[in-house]
Amino acid sequence: MEEILKKTIRDIPDFPKKGIIFKDITPVLKDAAVFRRLIDYFAERYEGRGIDSVVCVEARGFILGAALAYKIGASFVPARKPGKLPADTYRVDYDLEYGTDAVELHKDAIKKGEKVLLIDDLLATGGTAAAAAKIVKQAGGVVEEIAFVIELDFLGGRQKLSGYEIFSIVHY
């Protein structure tokens, strides 16, 4: 799967700012066969592990998480930017390179003791994933694993997630 993804993921230089090479998964999503293989690959890993919910942070994580939750028979739980969820929420603030951000989760989205899989397209510095893991814990869930399509090893995001099982398919 790693080689197929590496051939399909597109590099976009100088996005979102000069000096950054953006790893674009939209060609993976556009290719129905590759996208299906990616979801099946994740599903093979998580089927039979008793995952109750798949939690994803917007936006690309939603695409992967919804398809995977459906495939493994789990619920899909969106973790969103502040102000996007209509009911009572938990909130976790986290630091960015320049400033802060936050993630919110409905208070009734996860039951105490639920086994949760976090999934996103990319692990960079780890701030967003760490915040998502923290909010799942705050809601009473148990993070079984945090999964990514891509991990940018040189940014060291895995260190912010120590104590959690991490799975990434493609490493740069």
- To the query of whether residue 80 is one of the catalytic residues in this protein, the response is no
Model pLDDT, residue 96? 75
In a domain, 75, yes or no: yes
Query: Is residue 150 over pLDDT 80?
Result: yes
Model pLDDT, residue 99? 77
pLDDT tens readout for residues 76-119: 999 999 999 999 999 999 987 677 899 999 999 999 999 999 99
Alpha carbons 136 and 142: distance in angstroms, whole number: 7
Active-site pick, 49, 97, 104, 158:
97
Active-site pick, 37, 45, 60, 145:
60
pTM of the model: 0.95
Total domains, the chain: 1
pLDDT (mean) for 127-132: 96
In a domain, 89, yes or no: yes
In a domain, 102, yes or no: yes
pLDDT tens readout for residues 10-64: 999 999 889 999 999 999 999 999 999 999 999 999 999 999 999 999 989 999 9
- To the query of whether residue 144 is one of the catalytic residues in this protein, the response is no
Q: Could you tell me the CATH number of the domain that includes residue 86?
A: 3.40.50.2020
Model pLDDT, residue 97? 67
Model pLDDT, residue 95? 84
In a domain, 108, yes or no: yes
pLDDT (mean) for 133-137: 97
Query: Is residue 133 over pLDDT 90?
Result: yes
In a domain, 27, yes or no: no
Query: Is residue 120 over pLDDT 90?
Result: yes
Query: Is residue 130 over pLDDT 80?
Result: yes
